[in-house]
Structure 1
Amino acid sequence: MPYFIIERNYAENVPVPFEAAPDINLINDEEDVRWVFSFLSVDHRKSYCLYEADSKEAILAAAARNGVPADVITEVEGRLMPSGLLASVT
């Protein structure tokens, strides 16, 4: 299944811990997408999330149902390591 990086921009700070995570994961399961992990900016107003999904459309559907932004969605193939090697995404 393909992997995607999602850039999300928030109007307000994202709370940590992110208490909505269990509910988001339930909806993601229904849309057949999997949230792998996220990075949160220092100001808590932007996140970069790694997702596994069949398509961008599935990610957009899950984001809409979850009420979270999905401003930029980029399919990724692997991780470029400091050694110069390409490794698997996870």
Structure 2
Amino acid sequence: MPRYVVQRTFPDGLSVPMNDVGADALGGVIMRNAEKGVTWVQSFVSPDKKHSFCIYDAPSPEAIRSTAQKNSLPVDKITEVRVLDPYFYR
């Protein structure tokens, strides 16, 4: 399955509460993603919480865009990526 980096901008900052409300919200994202075969692997968030860089396994960029829309998440850019392991060269 292809892997992608999804870049997002949150003008007001991303806020996910560290409680049951936040856990339920993220669980809903995971559930809706699964409907299209999209797996959220990991995300990185800028210190100001206005930008995120999310790693996804998905059948296509279109599947990611579709689930983002269902999850009310912005998408700035989707880039297919592959692993480059710096220790492989030693």
Query: TM tier, shorter chain?
Result: 0.7 to 0.9
In 2, distance between residues paired with 1:79 and 1:29? 27
Residue by residue over 1:49-83, the C-alpha shift from the partner in whole angstroms, topping out at 9 and shown as x without a partner, is: 000001000000000111001111000011342x4
1:37 counterpart residue number = 42
- Mapped partners of 1:35, 1:17: distance in 2: 19
Aligned residues: percent identity? Answer: 37
- The CA distance in 2 between the partners of 1:79 and 1:28, in whole Å, is 26
**3-state SS of the aligned residue for 1:31?**
coil
Amino acid at match of 2:37: D
Equivalent in the alignment of 1:9: 9
Aligned equivalents of 1:8, 1:67: Cα separation in 2: 12
Q: Which residue of 2 aligns with 1:66?
A: 71
Aligned-partner SS, 2:35:
helix
Q: Which runs of 5+ in 1 are unaligned?
A: none
Corresponding pairs, count = 84
Of the candidates 21, 27, 33, which is equivalent to residue 22 of structure 1? 27
- The structure with the larger Rg is 2
Give TM-score, length-normalised by structure 1. 0.85
**Which runs of at least 4 in structure 1 moved beyond 2 Å after TM superposition?**
none
Superposition deviation, residue 11 in structure 1: 1.9
TM-score, structure 2 length as denominator?
Answer: 0.85
